[in-house]
Chains A and B, each alone.
Chain A
Amino acid sequence: MLSDKLTSTGVADQSDLGQAWPSEDRLKQGPVVVVECYQEIPCNPCETSCPRQAIVVGENINDLPKVDHAKCNGCTLCVARCPGLAIVVVNAAYSQTESTVTIPYEFLPLPEQGSAVEGIDRQGRVCCQARVVRVLNTKAQGKTPLVTLAVPKGKEREVRFLRTAG
């Protein structure tokens, strides 16, 4: 069931997110995919891009992706392949104080590695300061660059976009 908030504003609420979030045990083990895809649409590049069969859509292309977080190693291949830009990879075991979130980011200018940016939540609000750990923009991403942000622990649940200074 899609929440009213999601269907009327485009912003997922807790009831939507609950289905996508990995277990605490899995999060402790390092990078893992979070597929925030809640609506049945005819689409399956997440499934075909995954080398470990961690994401399965199956016979009916309209079915929601089923994610086996245990099989996922957080490789981020699916992140740039999702036409809906609905996939992120979180690493809650990044350090004692920080987690990382890898997001698809199709805007110019691309942030510089090491630079400070604003971490933006699903609603477009600033929710923390973030540091750009990595920018991946090779042919394999097909013009959907991936930006990995280090954020204060816990914020990996909220940060889904970034804003560069100025």
Chain B
Amino acid sequence: MKAGEFLIIGGGPAGLMAALAASEFGVESLIIDENQAPGGQLVKQTHMFFGSKAERAGTRGFEIGLELQQELSTRGIKIETQASAVGYYPDGTVAVMQNERVWPLKPRAILVATGASENFVSFPGSDLPGVYGAGAVQTLMNVYGIRPGNQVLMVGSGNIGLIVSYQLMQAGVSVKAVIEGLPKIGGYLVHASKIARAGVPILTRHTILEASGKDQVERAVIARIDENWQPVSGSQSILEVDTVCLAVGLSPLTEILWQAGCQMYHVPELGGQVAWHDELMMTSVPGIFTAGDVTGIEEASTAMLEGELAGLGAAKYLKGESKELQCRIDDTACRLASLRAGPFGQKAREGKCKLAECRR
């Protein structure tokens, strides 16, 4: 395994776009990904993407992943799968493990695009078989063609909760309800309307009290909650379900950034601890870039554009400035800003502002 100039850790939407953008300016990249196939979360996203034509709006996520891989292979960019970055050393070496063998790679620049992991909530019975993260459910169904259960309670009404509910129904699974602690639905209302008309009640200001069953989940108890997030007495109801699916947010996967000594800050709007980065996604450690959910939980479309920026940033770092490069950077930055310009981008906008100020 050869590192090339630019080692990209994580072959999701951000990492793939970074390699493509960097290659436009002659940067030789290697992408490593711990999964069997690259694409990150794109591989299981069967819904059409939002955004504009430039971000491939209207195309389904998994098809975007395939298109990007096709472009990478056309340009001769190498992807090593089932390869994990297991350590960063002070001299800039990244230890990459593949097939029980560790490769010490020493690239001139690194992109950490490792994504995020799912959050969980604890409740009595949350350790029973049948309690899943929504990402796991989506992988089982859409990658492996396996139904996780037959009757599902979805916890969380963000886009992941809403989209996975819809996809469960497409797979012939009955979704008994989607519950949400906040008074308003978290995700896009168009996704909510899709499942509402298919007959799934969305219950805001509700929580799960417990799951129970002999060897696995057989039922779940939910209740309405008041302004102080306390269950309202008498509002409990029992749902006969064999699956409880948790879609309660994501946290950035930042281990490599910590190990590399990047300055990290806690920004709640971005989902937890994230690395400070400049406008071109470079962290406080020169030559180490970061992009996608690991820099703040958002959507795949913004991850793609952040990845593109990071790839262009790496090109500037490795090859120097040029007029053409600056034009590309300005265009990508502008498209990213416009995706975040609406009410749904507010959290990310505020988070990124806070993060930028951390180091001033």
Q: How many residues of B contact A (CB 8 A)?
A: 41
Smallest CB gap from B194: residue in A: A85
**Given A7-B189, A42-B51, 10 additional A-B pairs, CB 8 A:** A9-B192, A39-B188, A42-B340, A43-B50, A45-B57, A60-B341, A62-B338, A83-B50, A122-B193, A122-B197
Residues on the A chain within 8 Å of B344, using CB: 40-42, 62
Q: Which residues 7-61 of A sit at the B interface, judged by CB distance below 8 A?
A: 7-12, 36-45, 48-49, 60-61
User: Chain B contact residues: over half helix, strand or loop, or mixed?
Assistant: mixed
Could you tell me which A residues sit within 8 Å of B by CB distance?
Answer: 2, 6-12, 36-45, 48-49, 60-62, 81-86, 106-108, 120-124, 142-144, 160-161
Q: How far is the CB of A70 from chain B (nearest CB, A)?
A: 25
- Judged by a CB distance under 8 angstroms, whether B196 is at the interface is yes
Could you tell me which B residues sit within 8 Å of A by CB distance?
Answer: 47-53, 57-60, 169-170, 183-185, 188-202, 204, 301, 338-345
Residues on the A chain within 8 Å of B190, using CB: 37, 39, 41, 82-86
Q: How far is the CB of A151 from chain B (nearest CB, A)?
A: 15
**Which 7 A-B pairs have CB atoms at the shortest separation, nearest pair first?**
A62-B342, A84-B190, A10-B192, A124-B199, A83-B48, A10-B196, A45-B58
Q: How far is the CB of B263 from chain A (nearest CB, A)?
A: 30
Q: Given that A39-B188, A61-B338 are contacting pairs, would A120 and B193 also be in contact in the complex, using a CB cutoff of 8 Å?
A: no
User: Chain A contact residues: over half helix, strand or loop, or mixed?
Assistant: loop
In the bound complex, CA of A36 to CA of B48 (Å): 17
A61–B58 contact, CB under 8 A? no
Residues on the B chain within 8 Å of A42, using CB: 50-52, 301, 338-342, 344-345
**30 examples of A-B residue contacts, CB within 8 angstroms:** A2-B189, A6-B189, A10-B185, A10-B196, A10-B202, A11-B197, A12-B193, A36-B193, A41-B342, A42-B338, A42-B342, A42-B345, A43-B50, A43-B52, A44-B57, A48-B53, A60-B338, A60-B341, A61-B51, A62-B342, A83-B48, A84-B191, A85-B190, A85-B194, A86-B190, A120-B197, A123-B197, A124-B196, A124-B198, A143-B60
